[in-house]
Structure 1
Amino acid sequence: MGKITNGENYYRINITYSNNSIFEGINQEWTGTQWINSDRSIFTYTGNNLTQVLNEEWNGAQWTVVDSYRDIFTYNANNKKTAYILETWENSTWEEEERIEYVLDATGNRTTETEIFNGNNQYRVEYNYDTTSLLSDFFHPFNDKTGADYIYEDVPHVNAITSQTILISNPSTNNLEVTARVIYDYNNQITLNVQNFEASNNVTIYPNPSSEFIAIEGLQQNETVSIYNVLGTLVKEKYVTPNQRIAIKDLNSGMYFLKLENGYTIKFVKN
């Protein structure tokens, strides 16, 4: 897997499999004369469940955990995901940076999704369902999750999802407040939000493209940013500080729009 820009090599990913599951992915960059290692991800499984992804940096001679991070996943007895934890290597120990907790009902539907950053709730998504209908009876955008792009996420909906409400932390009150709602219509097809985006010339995203993290350069204050896919569907919201990294490894590959509170947006690509 690789990328060619203007006819020239840019980067590539070497993927190794074990028992038909991804075991290792090594990112390499092209110097103009040779490929050099950049970073790698090592995947650990318990049964069929992905439980950890260790991301190490190449220091020019060997792989090292310095400036590295790891993703940890927990599951319930029914093999449904209950938490995602991001830890970074700080002063010879792993420290939690971000956590997303999932609550499920008895059927296996994800009812809430809460992001916790530095011990504080940043956002929560609440899901509602038609418990008389199965999602598998409809055409929908949550299926066909196969391949490396979807390895981080399972299908969290058993019944037909009818709506989701998004709550974002108000930094003034530290309370979660409703900011958006998505309604799904199954009469003909699922209706997705359509956003109008206005480009910003003063704020940029780096690195772009990226496969793991992005940061916002030129942000003057703390604020909540929203990430939309090309269909206009909200896929992530986060309260950030200037130059704070935003994890995007859980997003599918493709083009996205990051929207600021003032309505301006920046386009970026997830590898």
Structure 2
Amino acid sequence: MKLLTMKQIYLLITTLSLITNAVTAQSDLIYHVDSGEGVFTTNLDGTSKNLLTSYSPSATSLAHDIELDVENNHMFVLDQNGKNLRQYDLNGTNNTLIYSYATNPSDIELDLINGKIYHAINGEVFTTDLDGTNKNSLITYTPSATNLLNGIELDLINNHMYIMDINGDSIIRYDLNGNNNTAIYNYTGGTQYPTDFALDVENNKIYHISRDNTAAEIFTTDLSGNSKTVLSTYTAGSSLLYIDIELDIDNNHMYLLSTNGDLLDRYSLNGTNKTLIQSYPGSFPKDIVIYKTDSTLSLNDTELNDTEIAVYPNPSSKFIQISGIKGDEKAFSIYNTHGIKVKTGTIQENNKINIQTISNGIYFLIFENGNSIKFIKK
């Protein structure tokens, strides 16, 4: 039987997931948090605006951050002034309080493989389950003029979290359990104040935004903070100040949100081809997140028939073992997230597949009958 293409698999699994979860989105979307209006979606080019939930900013309400759990049909919205984290369905309904903070929260990040939320607040970084229970403190510190942990990004493949210290002008890397802190990048001289960063783990890159009082840079380093490459510079001021960056690696794009000037720009990943995507006139944009239709692929097992196939351990560094294979040997192929085939072979029930020779990253194990399983090589 001919193997399905990655696009065919994405479309088929997406259709099944949309039916199961009643998700109405039919294409790639941007979810916007606009404190002057609410949460809404647009297409990746900024068209077809759809308001999901509205509110007015106040001393007790200021939406600050958004993250998506597409598999469970949820979005999480962080309310900085209200000191709470709320969960909605992806269409903006079913508002549920997930967590109340004693102090102002600054950022959250989801670990959907292990079912955890990573929270960064004034003085602490901790995890909870996705429902807000089982708090586990990872990092505690005393905020100061030189120490204030703010933005957080996860590298689940290499067991790392990266945290931006906005007062210390640095990015610090920790293990996911909060141990082994390492200064990765210090923003010294010139454009020395970090405003946001994003990880491209597969390509070993960090995308940075930094500024001083007037000048600003968009640049990359590797995941260890080395090999700086400036992609674009601009004049920071009342009409332009980027505070948020999101990556769309598949389409060779990065999106940058400006709180001054109230706009969203899109660039190619090399810093060229600047395009205005969205304007927020008289409003307060705070965050965006990109919804990709292929993100509806399961983070554990994805099945296209009744065969219960599982992969373990997941993540793994040396081999994966497959259970649930019925009958004779089955042909398989392994693809990376760019649709490139990296390994082929045949396998029977409980056989192992050696993955030591492939690079760290996210992969899809695809059988000739159409079954697809997502796994992580670390």
Q: Same fold (TM over 0.5)?
A: no
Q: TM-score, normalised by structure 2?
A: 0.28
**Structure number with higher relative contact order (C-alpha < 8 Å, ≥ 6 residues apart):** 2
Q: Which structure has the bigger radius of gyration?
A: 2
Q: Which has the larger helix fraction?
A: 2
